[in-house]
Structure 1
Amino acid sequence: MNIKISIPAQTLSLFDDSGQLRKQFPVSTAFKGVGEQKGSYRTPRGRHIVRARIGAGQPLGTVFRARRPTGEVWTPELHAQYPGRDWILTRILWLSGCEPGFNRLGDVDSMQRYIYIHGTPDSEPMGAPHSHGCIRMRNADVMALFDMVPLGTHVVLLDD
């Protein structure tokens, strides 16, 4: 399995080992565009791997803070209580860069920047950049992707 994320098209494509497209999903990358610098709130480019899979067995809409389930499940009422929260829901695929000096190590390290593929409220737009740097997906989509993707899966984020 490998994943290709097209930042211009705002899509995530999952390919099997023979190169056949298995699934394609709409996503939302960073509102501020692309970039690797820590604190930039931009989506990093280049080659990555799935370093951690978080949330197996949790219900759809599970709320995560610091990669831990809070015990909450997202609802519009909960959202209204915390209007400025960057909601990380359902599942987390934590990415680690593979290109030293570009998206790995130092001030450009994707893992230290906590760059994830994760669920977001279904009320949030897909197909347009709105995240704080991560790759957001619909909850049902990230749950399906999580179930198909093992640790170590190669992920490339493309800006062309």
Structure 2
Amino acid sequence: MRQLDLLYISLADQQLYGFSAGQLLIRLPVSTALNGPGELNGSGCTPRGLHQIRAKIGTGLPLAAVLRGRRWTGEVWSAELHGQFPGRDWILTRILWLSGCEPGQNRLGNVDSFRRYIYLHGTPDSEPMGVPRSHGCIRLRNADMLELFDLVPVHCAVRIDEAPCPDWAAATLS
């Protein structure tokens, strides 16, 4: 599959749509913020607008590798590990770290997505997809995160929007 040049994340659909040269190539379920959309630091909301992939973290790590502070802890998620840390916001497998592209909306000041550590990342497979449950990030199934990670380059555009994916775009899935 060719590299993607745009990710469209629909808060309404709780779906990620991946495009290359205007053609929809991939659609994946996600989980965005339980607190809904919003840009303010500390809000626990998913920021809207145009972003880019600023960094890709976790190349070569095992599926369900546990990441804290953007570093592998050496652990791999399991139900037993989850039981030891029941309240942890699990960041697993890979990280695609977002940076806002719109000053005053999602870049700089108290609305800076990069400084808020907004990621696309894997999550335990026991967590539901298609419903808002995160603390602001965009969660994906671990297998989906692995697939997506290899398809997006650094600086890939990411649009996070409250609208559903347009019908014309959804109809182009090959």
Same fold (TM over 0.5): yes
Residue number in structure 2 paired with 1:85:
88
Superposition deviation, residue 42 in structure 1: 0.2
| Residue number among 114, 117, 120 corresponding to 1:114 in the alignment | 117
Q: Deviations over 1:64-119 (max 9, x none)?
A: 00000000000000000000000000000000000000000000000000000000
TM-score by length of 2: 0.91
Q: Please tell me whether residue 4 in structure 1 is matched to residue 15 in structure 2.
A: no
| Residue number among 61, 76, 87 corresponding to 1:58 in the alignment | 61
Q: Deviations over 1:34-88 (max 9, x none)?
A: 0000000000000000000000000000000000000000000000000000000
Q: Separation in 2 of the partners of 1:146 and 1:53?
A: 8
The percent of aligned pairs where both chains have the same amino acid is 63
Q: Please tell me whether residue 44 in structure 1 is matched to residue 47 in structure 2.
A: yes
Amino acid in structure 2 at the alignment position of 1:136:
R
Superposition deviation, residue 139 in structure 1: 0.1
Q: Please tell me whether residue 23 in structure 1 is matched to residue 31 in structure 2.
A: no
How many residues align structurally?
A: 159
Unaligned runs of 5+ in 2: 164-174
Amino acid in structure 2 at the alignment position of 1:13:
Y
Secondary structure (helix, strand or coil) at the match of 1:49 reads strand
TM-score by length of 1: 0.99
Runs of 4+ in 1 over 3 A off after TM superposition: none
Superposition deviation, residue 145 in structure 1: 0.1
CA RMSD of aligned residues (A): 0.4
Residue number in structure 2 paired with 1:125:
128
Q: Separation in 1 of the partners of 2:101 and 2:152?
A: 18
Q: How does 1:59-74 map to 2 (within 5 A)?
A: 59-74=62-77
| Residue number among 126, 140, 145 corresponding to 2:143 in the alignment | 140
Residue number in structure 2 paired with 1:32:
35
